[in-house]
Chain A
Amino acid sequence: MNRKFVTLLTLVLIGVFVLAACGGDDVQEAAEQVQEAVEQVATQAPDIVAEVEEAATEVAEVMEPTPVPTVEAVEEPELTLTIWADDTRAPLLSQLVEEFGATYGVNLVVEFVDVNNQLPISAPAGEGPDLYVTPHDRAGGFVASGLAAPVELGDKADLFTEVSKNAFTFGGVLYGMPYAIENMALFRNADLVPDAPQTWDELLAAGQALQESGDVTYAFVLEDNGYKLYPLMTSFGGYVFGRSENGDWNPADIGIDSEGMIASGNWIVDNVAAGLLSPSANDADTAQALFVDGETPFLMTGPWAISQFQEAGMNYAISPFPDGGQPFAGVQGFMINPFSENVLLAQAFLTEFIATDEIMTFLQEEGNRASVYLPVVEETDDPDLAALGEAGVEAVVQPAIPEMGAVWGAWNGAVQLVITGGDTPENAYGTAAQQIRDTLAGVRPEITEVNVPGSYQALAGCESDWNPDCQQTEMTEGDDGIWTLSVELPAGDYEGKVALNGSWDFNYGVDGEAGGANYTFTLDADGTVSFAFDPETNLLEITIE
C-alpha cells in the first residue's frame, strides 16, 4: 500500500515538473529576461537594437516555446506613469494621456480609484500608483503614514499661490503639487433676488418677502453637515480648532462648543420656529433640488454644483457670504507615491508637463475649479470662478491635521440635532465637543502614576534625564484630583513634559496637547520648582519660587 502510494506520488510529481517545464515558470522567466534586455536596449541606438534582437532570438530559441512579443517591445519602450484619481478628476486627466505620450514618449495611465481606501493598502504592498490626486486635508494622514514623497517644484515654486503650497506643506516640507482650490459661496436665484444680501437678516428678509408672496416655500434651507454650515457659523464667531502661537492648528482648543457656534445654533432654532428655514436636515441632493425647483431662493454650495444649475437653465448669481462668513477652502493636488520606481519622472511630469499655462488652463476650464497657478489665475475671465474666488478671499483652509477625522461625525450629528430640534444648540454642541475631546484623548487607562520627565531629572536624583518612570520625580495626587511635585534645582534653563503610568504612551506637552511640545522653564537663581497637573485638562502648571 505504502509502496503504491509512493509510486503514484512520484508519477504525479514527474507530471508536474513536465508541465512546469513546458509552460510554467522557466519560460516565463526567460521571457522576462528577454523583456528586460529589450527594455534596456530599446532606449539605445538602433544598431545595438539589432544586436539584442539577435540575442533575444537566441535566448528565445534556447527556451521553447518561443516567446513572441520581443519585436513589438523594441518598437514601444515601456515607460509608464500611473495616476490614481477620483471620479471627477480621472476623466479630466485621461484627456491628457495622448499629449503627454506624444511629447515625452512615456505612457500615462489614468485610473479611477477610491484613493482614500485603496492607497493605504496598495502602496506599502508595492501595488500603488506613481502619482495620485487628493484633497489636501487627506494629505496630512498620507504624509504621517509614509505614503507621500517630497515634491521639489524648482523654478516653478513661485508660480503657485502661497495658500495652496501651505496646504501641502507638512513639517516644512512640500509633499504635493497643488493645482486647484475650491470653496463655497452664496448662490442665489437671480430671477427672484436681484441683489446680493449683505447680512443674514437681509437674506432672511428677502426670503420672507418671497415666501409671503408665495414664490418660494422656504426663505432658506440648511444641509445636514458642518462643512456646509461653516460660513454661517463663522459669521457668529464659531470655529473648529483654534490656532497656537505659531499659527498651526491647535487640536487642544476645540471650538465646536464655542459661544459663536452656539449663537449660530440659536439663530437656526429661532428661524426654523418662525417658519423661515426648512425644518429638515437635508442632504445635498435635496437642498440642491429645492434650489433648482425655485422652492428656496438661496443655497450655500460650491463649484461642483454649477454644472447642474447650468443644465437646469437657472439664472443664478454668486456672491460672498453675508456678515463676513468664511467657507472652508479645499486644495486639490498631485502627490507622489514614495514606493514608486519613478519618483523623479513623476516629479518631472508635474513640473514640466502639468505646471504649464496650457495644462493648468485646461484643468481650470474643464474641471470648473479655480486654478492656484498664478499665470492662469491672472488670466482668468470666467465670471463664476472670479465670484467664487471673491467669496473665498477669507476662506479658512480646511485643517489637514489627523484630529479633524474625529470632528466630522460628532459635528454633523450636532448640526442635525440643532436643525431638527432634537436638542438645544448648547447641549448638542456641548455633547459633540465632549465626544471629540474623548476621541482625541485616546482611550487612556486609569492613572496610576504621573511623572514630569525632563532635562532636569539627573539634577533631581534620577538616573538619567527624560525618564518617564523615575521615582524621584513622581507626582502625588491631592484630594482635589490635582497631581503635584516640588523639586529643588540650581539656576538654569530646563524642559519638561507630563507622562502617565511610567511610560511615554500617554504624554502631554504645551496646551495639554497629547504628544505636544515640551514645556520650558527658567530659574534665575537656585530655587524650588512646583509642578501641578490637572488630569481633566491635561495642563501642567509650573511655578518657580
Chain B
Amino acid sequence: MSAAQPALGGPGRGGGSSTLSRIGARLVILALIDGLALWLITSLLQIDGLVFAAAIALVTLFANVVILRDEGYPLRWMLVGLALMLLFSVYPILYTVSVAGTNYGFGHLLTKDQAITQLENPRRHSYMPEGGASFEWTAFRSESGEFVLWLQQEDGTSFLARPGETLASLGPGEQGIGELDGDGIPVSIEGYERLNRLMVVRYLGEIDKIRFGGEEDAVLIRSLDSATQLAALYQYNPDQDAIINQENGKVYTPTDGFFRSQDGEELAPGFRIGIGFENFRQFFDSPQLRGPLVRIIIWNFAFAFLTVLLTFGLGLAVALLFNDPQLPGRKIIFTLLLVPYTIPSLISIMVWRGLLNPELGIINKSLEALIGWAPPWFTDQWWAKVAILLVNLWLGYPYYMLVCSGALQAIPSDIYGAAEVDGANIWQRFWRITLPLLLIAVGPLLVATFTFNFNNFNVIFLFIRGGPPIAGASTQAGHTDILISYVYNLAFAGGRDFQYGLASAITIVIFIAVAVITLFQFRYTKMWEEAGENV
C-alpha cells in the first residue's frame, strides 16, 4: 500500500496522509456513482430499457476509467458535463436516428410480440367452435383462495367448472354441492364460499388468470355476467412465422409491419419494423417538398436574420443611450425595459395575440377609432410577418440590451479619447470603434440567436399557427410557417395521425440543415478566430 501511494496520489502535492484521504474520497465518490448506476441499470432492465441501460453502463465505465487512471485527471473536471451530454443529448439523437429507420407511428405502435398477443386475444377476435356454448357464471371461493365456477346455460343445464378439469354436469349432493336456490345456483359448495356480485369484483383479477375447464372445453370469462367457450380466432405459429385463422385456415404472414394474407387483407394492429431509408424517401419524394417549400425556406432565413438584426439593433441602441451616465432615472427605466425578458414568452405571445386581435384588440380598436384603419395582422401575409417580427423584437431586445451594455463598459475609454484627438466624429467613432469591438464579444451570440430563431417554433405556432394559409398551395401551409412548424403540420397534424418515424426522419434532415448553416456561419464570419486573436 505504501509503495502505491505516490503514484496513486496523482498530481496531488500533499503529504502521505492527505493523499490517502484523497484516495478515500475518490473511492467513496466512485462507489456512490457505481451504486447509483447499478440501481438505475437493474431498474431499467426490469422495464426492458435495455438500450438505455447499456448507455448508462458505458457512461459509468467511462467515469470509472477517468477517475481511476491518472491520465484521466484533466477529464475529471468535465466528467459531469460529458456524462450529461452523452445521456441527454447524444442518446436522444441516436434514438431519433434509430426511430427514423422504422415505421413507428399510429397503426405500428406495438412490437411484433405485443401485436401477436393482441391478435391472439379471444376477447378481440374469436369464433365459436363446434359444441361451444355461452353461460352465466357464479364464483365460489375457498378459504385458501381457490375458485370454482357454477356455469348455467340458457337452456337450464348447469356445470361445475374447476381449474384445468373438464366441465362436470352435477346436481345437488354431488361433490359437496348444496341446495339450489331460486336461480338454480347452489347455496353452498362444501369448502367454498359463494361470492356475491359486489365481492366478486375484488377477485376478478385472480379469476381472470385461472383457466377453467379442460383442454377441449375451456371457458372464457367475458364479463361479470357471461362466460363462453369462444376460442381465439387467430393463433401464431412460430415455425411458419405466421398467424393462422383457426376457423378457415387463412394464413397471414408478416409483411411491411402487418400480418397480411395472400389476397392483401391486413390484420390490425400492425407492429414496428425497420424500414431503412423509406421515411427519408417518402419525405424527399413527397409533393410537400415540391410545394411551397422554397418560399418557406426563404421566409425562414428572412425571419431568423431580421430577428437578429432588429433585436440586436434595438438592444444596442438602448444600451448606447443608457451608457450615458447623465441620463436621468437611468436605473429605473433600464429595469423597466428588462420586464419583457422576465415574463415567460408563452404569456407575452398570448398577450400580443390579444392586443392585435382585429375584433377586440386594444391596438386595432384604437387605430380604427383614430384613423379609421388598422393593419390586418392575421389575414394579410405581409402584415402577419410584420406582427411576428414585432413580437419577436419585443421578446428578444432586452437580451441584447443587457449584453451590449456590459460589453460597452469593457471598451477602454482612452481609445475614444485618441479618436477624438484625431478628429473622428460621433458616427465614425461608432462605426470604427464601438461596433467592431462590440462584435468581438457579441458575434458568437448573434450566430446563436440566428440558430435559435431559425427553429423558433414557439413564436410562430403560438402567435399565428403559421397562418394566414397560402392560397392554392399544393400542401397545407401558411405564409408565416417556418420549416419546423411546417414539418410539425406535416408529421403530426396534417397526416393520418402520428407518424413518429417520419417525424424523426424530417427532424434529422432539419438538424443537418441547421448544422450546416451554423458551421458555415462560424467559418464565414470567423467569429471564433477573431475572438481568439483579440483576447
Contacts and interface: CB of A to CB of B under 8 A. Distances in A.
Interface of A: 1, 4-5, 7-9, 11-13, 15-16, 19-20, 24-25, 40, 43-45, 48, 79, 103-106, 120, 123-126, 141, 143-147, 149-150, 152-155, 173, 221, 278, 280-282, 286, 289-290, 295, 338-339, 341-345, 347-348, 351-352, 402-403, 405-406, 408-410, 413-414, 416-417, 420, 422-423, 427-428, 431-432, 434-435, 438-440, 443, 445, 453-455, 464-466, 468, 495, 497, 499, 504-505, 507, 515, 518
A155 to B, nearest CB: 6
B511 interface: no
Contact of B379 (A295, A420, A427, A455): A420
B124 A406 contact: no
A501 B51 CA distance: 37
Contacts of A5: 68-69
Contact of A434 (B4, B118, B197, B474): B474
Interface residues of B, number: 86
A173 B118 CA distance: 14
A124 B225 contact: no
Contacts of A15: 27-28, 30-31, 34
B264 A105 contact: no
A471 B360 CA distance: 67
A13 B379 CA distance: 67
A12 B33 CA distance: 11
Contacts of B471: 417, 422-423, 427-428, 431
Interface in B186-208: 197-198, 201-205, 207-208
A44 B143 contact: yes
A438 B291 CA distance: 12
B11 to A, nearest CB: 15
Nearest to B263: A466
Contacts of B521: none
A416 B118 contact: no
Interface stretch (B35-43, B160-168, B236-244, B452-460): B35-43
17 contacts: A12-B30, A13-B34, A24-B35, A106-B202, A124-B110, A144-B107, A146-B269, A280-B378, A282-B359, A408-B493, A416-B468, A420-B468, A422-B471, A435-B474, A435-B475, A504-B260, A507-B264
B226 interface: yes
Contacts of A20: 35, 38-39
A422 B263 contact: no
A413 B469 contact: yes
Contacts, number: 246
Most buried by B among A4, A8, A497: A8
A48 B38 CA distance: 37
Contacts of B8: 4, 8
Given A16-B31, A286-B357, A120 B109 contact: yes
B264 A504 contact: yes
A4 to B, nearest CB: 5
Contact of A278 (B285, B359, B469): B359
The 5 closest A-B pairs by CB, nearest first: A146-B269, A413-B469, A15-B31, A423-B471, A152-B223
Contact of B38 (A4, A16, A154): A16
B435 interface: no
Interface of B: 4, 7-8, 23, 27-28, 30-32, 34-35, 38-39, 42, 47, 64, 68-69, 106-111, 114-115, 118, 121, 123-124, 143-145, 197-198, 201-205, 207-208, 221-226, 255-256, 260, 262-264, 266, 268-269, 281-282, 285-287, 357-360, 376, 378-379, 467-469, 471-476, 478, 489, 493-498
A1 B123 CA distance: 66
Contact of A453 (B7, B28, B264, B285): B264
A16 B226 CA distance: 55
A374 to B, nearest CB: 18
